[in-house]
Amino acid sequence: MDVRIQSIHFDASEQLQAFIQKKVVKLGKFYDDITRVEIALKVVKPETAVNKEAGVQVIVPNGEFYATKTCDTFEEAVDLCLEALSKQLVKHKEKQRSK
């Protein structure tokens, strides 16, 4: 699984990147054949409280899934995205099994 982290208009800390790597690996439990995971992090309107946006795209053979969330922290946003994506992956896996 290839993980790419893109931080737009800021530099993501090593801590944040390690956190994301650790969380993304857990997606493997929900779907075996994940090709690539792309994470885009950006700060939206810095003067507001809820301004950290994370967009996560999971690419699998024959499909791709995407989730985006805006929260107080990047960790929280990534967590929520991965939660949503895990549900999408499980649903996709069940659809494939029923074929």
pLDDT tier at 9 (50, 70, 90 boundaries)? confident
Q: Is the pLDDT of residue 99 over 80?
A: no
Residue 90 near residue 82 (C-beta atoms within 8 A): no
Every domain of the chain and the residues it spans: 2-98
Give the tokens for residue 92.
């996709």
pLDDT at 54: 96
Q: What is the pLDDT of residues 42-85, one digit of tens each?
A: 998 877 889 999 999 999 988 899 999 999 999 999 999 999 99
pLDDT at 85: 95
Residue 60 near residue 35 (C-beta atoms within 8 A): yes
Find out if CATH 3.40.50.1110 is the number for domain 2-98: no
Q: What is the pLDDT of residues 15-29, one digit of tens each?
A: 999 999 999 999 999
| Count of helix runs (H) and strand runs (E) in the chain | 2, 4
